[in-house]
Amino acid sequence: MVSKRHNLENGSNYNNKKIIHLKTPTYQLVLSSIFVALGVSLSIFPGAFPVGPTKVFPFQHMINVVAGMLLGPLNAGVVAGLIGIMRIGIGTGTFFAIPGGIPGAVVVGLVYKYFVRKEVAGLTEPLGTALGALLSAFLVAPAIGAAPLQPFLGLTAQWQLFTIFFLISSIPGAFMGFLVVLALKRRRIIEGN
């Protein structure tokens, strides 16, 4: 007969509900694969919509929040990078998908792991995305030879325009991710802290 303590240590029943422990490499690999598949399939339907030279995809940022909290900064960054690469490959993303996704996932993972062990850490995702906007404006756009952006809302500087475009995607996506994590913790599907 298996003891109750053994069950609790190995991801078992807690008040007749299964709690997922995400510490083992197998769980992290499986969960990472699910997040990548979800990100790529959501980029097809409902899809991303073009804003300037970017394709706005809030579901990327939702996945960044959930992955950053459940997988940590490194694995969440890898998930965001793989989603970006696959979106570019199937035509639902641009080269800006990689710097637009990875920093947000890493920031959420770092904030959740080291500073705030609550769901509100997911709302820091736009900070990382703003960093990605700066990387896009100063490094990626010149490297791929993107033409200067047209003025938008009275803004003319390329870094300002990329920041606006990326935040149009990031803010609703971070809020959706916050709600997903909140729901998963309330239902005790994942561990609450």
Taking only the tens place, the pLDDT of each residue in 106-139 is 999 999 999 999 999 999 999 999 999 999 989 9
Region 54-80: mean pLDDT is 96
User: Domain range for residue 55?
Assistant: 22-186
pTM: 0.85
CATH number at residue 171: 1.10.1760.20
Q: How confident is the model at residue 22 (pLDDT cuts 50, 70, 90)?
A: low
Q: Is residue 128 part of a domain?
A: yes
For residues 83 and 99, what is the distance between their CA atoms, to the nearest angstrom? Answer: 12
Distance of CA 9 to the CA centre of its chain: 29
Q: Is residue 7 part of a domain?
A: no
pLDDT, tens digit (0-9, with 9 covering 90-100), for 180-189: 999 999 998 8
Q: Is residue 138 part of a domain?
A: yes
Contact 77, 101 (CB under 8 A): no
Torsion sign across C-alpha atoms 163, 91, 98, 45: positive
Q: Is residue 1 part of a domain?
A: no
Strand partners, 50: 55
Torsion sign across C-alpha atoms 153, 169, 49, 158: positive
Q: Is residue 149 part of a domain?
A: yes
Q: Is residue 79 part of a domain?
A: yes
Q: Is residue 76 part of a domain?
A: yes
Total domain count, the chain: 1
Q: Is residue 92 part of a domain?
A: yes
For residues 85 and 93, what is the distance between their CA atoms, to the nearest angstrom? Answer: 8
**133 class by beta-carbon count within 10 Å (0-12 exposed, 13-18 middle, 19+ buried):** buried
